[in-house]
Structure 1
Amino acid sequence: MYSDEVALGPVILEMLFELFSDPNFKVRQTVINAAGEIGKTYFEEVRTIFDEGLKDPHHSPRNAVIGSVKKMGEVNPGPVLTWAKQYLHHEDKEIRREICHGIELRGRKHPEDILPLLQELQHDPTARVRNTLVHVIGQIAYKKGCLIKVLAHLKNWQNPALVEAALAEIIDVHDRYRNFAALTQVEAIKLIDDYYVDQKRKC
């Protein structure tokens, strides 16, 4: 309706903002999901909902933010990733983790768009955030054409322990998701080994 009935746009937004203050977390969660559909095209109109949703006291609305950022970022990456970037170093570790998880889907087809943002989290002091970072790297690396881009970017990271964990996750993912991965686990290991050997020779 928001896209098809331009005249209804302000009314729809007013209703969403009003419902967003509902004490029932399921209502707030549904508002975020609806805002996510609008944000696929008109992110600026609903960004306030995501600013507030990140801080919701209940985990369900916060999870809805993650899901919405995933689907918005996939098709409307410009404003969504610019918005996400401002939260990468937020004082709340859960917000940092949610943002890291939320930008994942864009990376499955365009890892170059999110790898610079992920890199900013490589020294995060919270293990839960770093674990999510490793998970996201694994999730984007098994898609077609993505592993070589991930490997090239990881070469510029300054946290060897994090990179090592990411490479281990990439190898494991190629086994866990072997029915969906672009490469077999053996092919992924060979690519990793060949890439790092070649890089060392160049140095």
Structure 2
Amino acid sequence: MGFYDLPKNERSLLVQTIDSDILEGFVQKKESIVLNYFSDDDTYIRKTGYLAVGKIHKNKALEIDSLVSFLNQLYLSKLYKVRQTVINAAGELGKTHFEFVEHFFDKALFDEHHSVRNAVIGSIKKMGENNPKPILKWARKYLHHPDKEVRREICHGIELRGRKYPQDILPLLKELQHDTTARVKNTLIHVLGQISYKKGCLETVVKELNTWENKALVEKALDEIVDVHDRYKNFSVLTQKEAITYIDRNFRGKNE
């Protein structure tokens, strides 16, 4: 039976059990206890497992050195679900102490399984939202990596920080404007749309796009931004019509 097949009260009890077991596993360094959850087929069981690691750190039940040491051991698993969960657990620690877990992401960016690489994207998102400075510094190292998938993953990973603070990630995005790979360009356009619809964000994005050299890409990005204001109309601070009006008045390319 899956996590969300259980009644709410039973889910709460299960979370308590997993929290207790994960703590015991890390304290006693018993892989079998932790792997029972880290390898589970149910996504939400695995999620509860890696969130439990974050709770251990937050509650100061174990030193972060001890947590990281055991995660290093677990990451050696041949099971991709275990490695994926380790990366998500490292992401919980990296919200406050990225320097202790940076090496996990250096490895996992190149993991053979896409699920592990996707966990890097998810972790960059949640870490970048809470602890942006070291995360963005790390991301910059891979912006121009020869592997197009690495460039795409980095672009996608920094998106969440940009939804509230587009000014933080726009300098990095600008460096990708001349990337010739379709998957990278499409991700870049997608991210520009995603960081444009909250309060004050459209103004910041349009001002920045006025400085970009790749006008063909910018035009596609502006089309995406307009479309996002319709797709997310229940969440956008401006209507689609208001966004169009603002772009027409403030994007120089519209008036040249």
Cα deviation 1:151-203 (Å, max 9, x = unaligned):
000011010110000000000111111111111000000000011369958xx
In the TM superposition, what are the counterparts of 1:55-74 in structure 2 within 5 Å?
A: 55-74=110-129
- Give the Cα–Cα distance (whole angstroms) in 2 for the partners of residues 114 and 198 of structure 1: 22
Q: TM-score, normalised by structure 2?
A: 0.76
| Distance in 2 of aligned mates of 1:99 and 1:197 | 29
Contact in 1 for aligned 2:128/2:158 (Cα 8 Å): yes
Q: Does 1:118 find its partner at 2:180?
A: no
Q: Is the 8 A contact 2:128 2:136 kept in 1?
A: yes
In structure 2, what residue type is equivalent to 1:146? Answer: C
**Residue number in structure 2 paired with 1:168:** 223
Aligned residues of 2:210 and 2:253 also touching (Cα < 8 A): no
1:134 counterpart (184, 189, 194)? 189
When Rg is computed on C-alpha atoms for both structures, the one with the higher figure is: 2
What residue is the counterpart of 2:69 in the other structure? 14
Q: Tell me what 1:100 maps to.
A: 155
CA distance in 2: counterparts of 1:72 and 1:130, whole angstroms: 24
Alignment of 1:23-42 (within 5 A): 23-42=78-97
Cross-structure match for 1:157: 212
| Unmatched tracts of structure 1, length 5 or more | none
Which residue identity lines up with residue 148 of structure 1 in the other structure?
E
Instruction: Report what 2:138 is aligned to.
Output: 83
Amino acid at match of 1:104: E
Q: Does the CA-based 8 Å contact 2:248-2:255 persist in structure 1?
A: no
Q: Matches of 1:100 and 1:41 in 2, distance apart?
A: 22
Cα distance, 1:157–1:8 mapped onto 2, change above 3 Å: same
What is the CA distance between 1:10 and its match in structure 2? Answer: 1.9
Aligned partner letter, 1:127: A
Residue type of the partner of 1:147?
L
Aligned length: 201
Q: Distance in 2 between matches of 1:74 and 1:134?
A: 20
Q: Give the letter aligned to residue 97 of structure 1.
A: R
- Amino acid across the alignment from 1:37: E
Instruction: Pick one of 185, 196, 202 that aligns with 2:240.
Output: 185
Q: Secondary structure at the match of 2:233?
A: coil
Q: CA deviation at 1:5?
A: 2.3
Which aligned runs of 4 or more in structure 1 are off by greater than 3 angstroms?
197-201
Q: What's the RMSD between the two structures over aligned residues?
A: 1.5
The CA deviation string for residues 98-118 of structure 1, in whole angstroms up to 9 with x for no partner, is 000000000011100000000
> Any idea what SS the aligned residue of 1:151 has?
helix
Letter in 2 for 1:32: I
